[in-house]
Structure 1
């Protein structure tokens, strides 16, 4: 059984998109997702995106990281899917319903309202999520935000000097985070500018993370380090993040279709 796919990326964070909105895709097991995502033996991607029918929105978007695990939200993937869909849509995710609209070369996505309660992140212990009394080596006193998936954010003098490839995996699986966590290290450069690197839960270091940019921007706004609209610069490029007075986050940025193809499902099953 040959399955068509679209390879896309948002600022270098890349995806394989499978369109199963007609209901004809076989069940997707973890090992199949891992095999498709494998960069040496599969198609290769940071996340595998599967579009399905929805009873509450225009369609459903499911997201699997390269380790095969399913996650709640992915902002870069949402922009890619908006570009692929070609018109405004409300989309069901495990993190809630989001709305998206394509724009020239990319998309704007309403990511919904962030959550800050310790049990909403979730954390294993009750604490203030704006200024958490915890640390891992030089990374101390982070903020935590859930924007459909859990993020912890450390504000540092120079995010490029943090050994995130070493500290990220340890923090991701720390018992404080029962559902694991995405790890962000950020440097505030101006009232409207943040530089950011992200260790993504289940995917590792990536060129960009849309939910990480949203979570980091909101955390900086809560700490009054930046204004309510900010440009977040990641290794792969820039995203514009706004946090409206209505409490909802809007992320605007580019997305790109790389190529299309098809594969034999049985080769990965």
Structure 2
């Protein structure tokens, strides 16, 4: 089978994207998807997405982790797929699509800046050592110091596979405040990839929500990741409730090409 693919990245979170609106790639197996995401023997990516047709929406987002298995919502992936949909001729001022966690809205600014509305959050587990919440995917958030030298892989993996989380898994985010910017620095261990990624959209969203003060008001939180800078905007409406959440940042085409699969 010959595959025509596109490679996109959003702050270093990279994806193989396929236009599957005619259904030609529906039969790809878990092993084939895993192979396409392999960085030595395939295209390479943190995940693979298919642009699909869905009645009532501009498109549907089908997301797979780099292990070849269907994944939950990916924020940077949603932004990249929106940019790809625009490239494929889906030109709307407000783009509406459906993903695994429900409907989303997105807008574009300039050539490569995408604003993505995330799902509302109405519950946050708080503990002296961590926060736990779902922003389309489950996220464990822990604040640390000296994050640049922190052992994200080792610490993140130990939490992801502990007794509580090992069956279903969780993404693990380590966060350091940046007081001068009134923002945060975030590094994430992602389940499904089973490694640290350069950026995680649902992860930085989760981290930004936990960084908000006690006041119920509108927040704009700058976020630094290994792959670049994002902005998370939202309304805090209660102690643990958040609405009108937007993940904003770049989404860029890296290259496109063809690859033959066995």
- TM-score bucket of the superposed structures, by smaller chain: 0.7 to 0.9
**Secondary structure in 2 matching 1:61:** strand
Alpha-carbon spacing, 1:56–1:29, altered in 2? closer, same or farther (3 Å): farther
Equivalent-residue separation in structure 2 for 1:28 and 1:251 (angstroms): 30
Instruction: Tell me which stretches of 4 or more aligned residues in structure 1 moved more than 6 Å.
Output: none
Q: Please name the residue that 1:138 is paired with.
A: none
1:89 matched to 2:95: yes
Q: Secondary structure at the match of 2:207?
A: helix
Q: Is 1:98 matched with 2:104? A: yes
SS of residue in 1 equivalent to 2:63: strand
Q: In the TM superposition, what is the alpha-carbon distance from 1:223 to its structure 2 partner?
A: 6.1
Q: Structure 1 length as normaliser, TM-score?
A: 0.85
Whether the 8 Å contact between 1:115 and 1:145 is mirrored in structure 2 is: no
Q: Which residue of 2 aligns with 1:196?
A: 186
2: CA distance between counterparts of 1:18 and 1:84? Answer: 9
Q: 1:60–1:91: 8 Å Cα contact kept in structure 2? A: yes
Structure 2 gap ranges (5+): 238-242
By how many angstroms is 1:28 displaced?
2.6
- Matched ranges for 1:1-269 at <5 A: 1-86=1-86, 87=91, 88-104=94-110, 105-116=112-123, 129-131=125-127, 141-177=129-165, 178-190=167-179, 192-203=182-193, 204-221=195-212, 228-244=219-235, 247-265=243-261, 267=262
Does the 8 A contact of 1:115 with 1:147 survive in 2? no
Give the distance between the partners of 2:135 and 2:26, measured in 1 at CA: 30
Question: How many correspondences in the alignment?
Answer: 246
Three-state SS of the structure 1 residue aligned to 2:206 is helix
Structure 1 CA distance for aligned equivalents of residues 214 and 202 of structure 2? 18
Q: Give, in angstroms, the shift of residue 115 of structure 1.
A: 4.2
Preserved CA contact (<8 Å) 2:51 2:85? no
* 222 and 114 in structure 1: CA distance in 2 versus 1, 3 angstrom threshold: farther
Q: For residue 136 of structure 1, what is the aligned residue in structure 2?
A: none
Q: Shift of residue 6 of structure 1?
A: 0.6
RMSD value, Cα: 2.0
Question: Which deviates more from structure 2 when the two are superposed, residues 165-174 or residues 179-188?
Answer: 165-174
